[in-house]
Chains A and B, each alone.
Chain A
């Protein structure tokens, strides 16, 4: 948890808090999410029962464009793309098919994509957005917190923005003052609502 600026687990039962600190660490590490979390405060009250996680996020990497993963080389009426990073190849192909039509897009091997008879400027192609990692990030974060939260806490309230998040869960209806509790936890981290 070295990269996280603030990390606390608050619980009446000391031992339980210790275990949940370990669990949170393991899960976030497994899902490779420690790098995006800046501050994290987890509050658990087994008596209610209630699980609240609040935190702030580091600046999330911007959109992935074609130029980030491929070199675009225009040559004699065709445009050759040399792929450097395969992770986003599939979404890129999908966008090309939609935009140019399948008959204009060819992939002779794993690391090469060729566009035939495409009138578009190679510079414009470089700028095409192919993925937004932050969209998946929120899904990943929600999934991770569902893993961390005690099981059976099916009633949840989540708020995720690009800078901060809160996740509250319980097996009973969430009380009306849940927003206030969340605000208190943010205040503990030195964050104003």
Chain B
């Protein structure tokens, strides 16, 4: 059964019918937003059953759309958190990915600015490595990007999408070794993206992120994970009731190969490791429960089938 990421939008009235249906079909609701009279569900559903969900939600005026970024956590890396890069363009990109279902985090570097002085520190590197993909929003000059990119990407193991002022071809030429994705003509600017061509650029960034993530999904499919991250999310929500008291927008953040749990590591790590998934297999058996570099959160990295020999 292949699960595909979709977004359901509909009225709040009787939306639990849809939620139940998704769960009965073996899908997972990753995020649920209730906005006044509207509900937005970001979920994974079996590919063959999308039509069925459309059918059943039609009387409720529900709408099911593909959203390839659901279930991913994206780091939007900006050289600093100064006015030069925020709120435009970094926040614009972050917000746009969020609309399409991703959980995006802004990573502002302490010393990512300038040319010669640009650097990344170990905390930033580790935080970025906890994400599925890193989107670097750099400046307008070829020469500058060429000079500082090797410093900024040092130690980063997740795929990188590089956004910069020069053309895509120019970016491809100057970055060595190549990164996974490039989007040109999106450098530093100081106004809101609202013109059609600027929104087109944001769409281009999304397309590039999607392409890179698709590639990563394919790689994961070759050696599937022992358990689906969304399933662990539901399990933890049931068995570790403390998560229900967390006020973060996404107390459990689903990633492609794991899960971020926004509970203190020291107190809850053991409890989470001992949660039984099925037939005596616990979360600790199929995954690594590690302290996250982001606050005192927990990060769960699910082991692939080749390491555990189980898929549940």
Which residues of A are interface residues toward B (Cβ below 8 A)? 13, 15-16, 19-20, 22-23, 26-27, 30, 44, 46-47, 49, 147, 150-153, 171-172
Residues of B within 8 A of A16 (CB): 140-142, 165-166
Identify the interface centre among A22, A26, A151: most chain B CB within 10 Å of its CB. Answer: A151
> A151 with B140: in contact, given A22-B189, A46-B115, A49-B115 (CB under 8 Å)?
no
Chain B residue numbers with a CB within 8 Å of A153 are 114
Give which listed residue, A15, A27, A171, contacts B190 with CB less than 8 A: A27
Per the bound structure, the CA–CA distance linking A19 and B85 in Å amounts to 14
A152 to B191: give the CA distance in the assembly, Å.
20
Q: Given A15-B167, A26-B189, A152-B113, 9 other A-B contacts at CB below 8 A?
A: A13-B140, A19-B140, A22-B191, A26-B190, A46-B141, A150-B141, A150-B144, A151-B80, A171-B117
Q: Is the interface of B mostly helix, strand, loop or mixed?
A: loop
Question: Interface residues of B, CB < 8 Å — how many?
Answer: 26
Report the Cα distance A44→B113, complex, angstroms: 16
In the assembled complex, which residues on chain B have CB atoms less than 8 Å from the CB atom of A147?
83-84, 190
Whether B115 pairs with A151 at a CB distance below 8 angstroms is: no
Smallest distance from the beta carbon of B79 to chain A beta carbons, Å?
Answer: 6
Total number of A-B contacts with CB less than 8 angstroms?
Answer: 73
Contact with A along B67-98 (1 / 0, CB 8 A): 00000000000011011110000000000000
Q: Given contacts A13-B143, A15-B165, is CB(A151)–CB(B82) below 8 Å?
A: yes
One of A44, A150, A151, A171 near B116 (C-beta < 8 A): A171
A13 CA to B118 CA, complexed, in Å: 21
Measured CB to CB, the nearest residue on chain B to A47 is B143
* Inter-chain contact A30/B190, CB cutoff 8 Å: yes
Chain B contacts for A19, CB-based, 8 A? 140, 165, 187-189
With A13-B141, A19-B140, A46-B141 in contact, do A152 and B188 touch (Cβ < 8 Å)? no
Kindly list chain A residues whose C-beta atoms are within 8 Å of the C-beta of B79: 151-152
Q: Return A10 CB to nearest CB of chain B, in Å.
A: 14
- In this complex, which of B82, B141, B144, B165 has the most chain A Cβ atoms within 10 angstroms of its Cβ? B141
Chain A residues in 8 Å Cβ range of B189: 19, 22-23, 26
B114 touches A15 (CB 8 A): no
Please, which residues of chain A bring their CB within 8 A of the CB of B139? 150-151
Q: Chain B, 11-49, contact with A by CB distance < 8 Å: what is the 0/1 string?
A: 000000000000000000000000000000000000000
Q: How far is the CB of B115 from chain A (nearest CB, A)?
A: 5
- Tell me the complex Cα distance, A19–B163, Å: 14
Asked if A15 and B140 sit within 8 Å, CB to CB, the answer is yes
Q: Smallest CB–CB gap between A23 and chain B, Å?
A: 5
* Nearest-neighbor residue (CB-CB) of B83 within chain A: A147
Tell which of A15, A23, A152 touches B117, judged by Cβ atoms closer than 8 Å.
A152
CA distance A44 to B187 in the complex (A): 16
A-contacting residues, B89-115, CB 8 Å: 113-115
Residues of B near A22 (CB, < 8 A) are 189-191
Question: Closest approach, in angstroms, between the C-beta of A33 and any C-beta of chain B?
Answer: 13
Asked if A171 and B142 sit within 8 Å, CB to CB, the answer is: no
Write the nearest CB–CB distance from A48 to chain B, whole angstroms. 9
| A27 partner residues in chain B, CB cutoff 8 A | 190
Residues of A within 8 Å of B141, CB to CB, are: 13, 16, 44, 46, 150
Nearest CB on B from A24, distance (A): 9
CB of B86 to closest CB in A, whole Å: 11
Q: Contacts A19-B187, A152-B118 known; A46 to B166 CB distance under 8 Å?
A: no
| B131-151 near A? 1/0 per residue, CB < 8 Å | 000000001111110000000
Interface pair A172/B85, CB less than 8 Å apart: no
Q: Are A23 and B190 in contact (CB under 8 A)?
A: yes
Residues in B neighbouring A49, C-beta threshold 8 A? 114-116, 144
Given contacts A15-B140, A150-B144, A171-B116, contact A26 B191 (CB under 8 A): yes
B166 near A15 with CB under 8 A, answer: yes
A residues near B117, Cβ cutoff 8 Å: 152, 171
A150 to B188, CA, bound (A): 9
Interchain CA distance A147-B139 in the complex, whole Å: 13
Q: Report the Cα distance A150→B82, complex, angstroms.
A: 11
Instruction: Report 9 cross-chain contacts, Cβ distance below 8 Å, ordered by A residue.
Output: A15-B167, A19-B189, A23-B190, A30-B190, A150-B114, A171-B114, A171-B115, A171-B116, A172-B116
Docked complex: B175-210 residues within 8 A CB-CB of A: 187-191
The docked-state distance in angstroms from the alpha carbon of A17 to that of B80 is 22
Task: Return the 7 tightest CB-CB contacts between A and B, nearest first.
Answer: A152-B114, A152-B113, A46-B141, A151-B84, A26-B190, A19-B140, A151-B113
Q: A13-B142, A13-B143, A26-B191 are in contact. Are A151 and B165 (CB under 8 A)?
A: no
A152 with B115: CB separation less than 8 A: yes
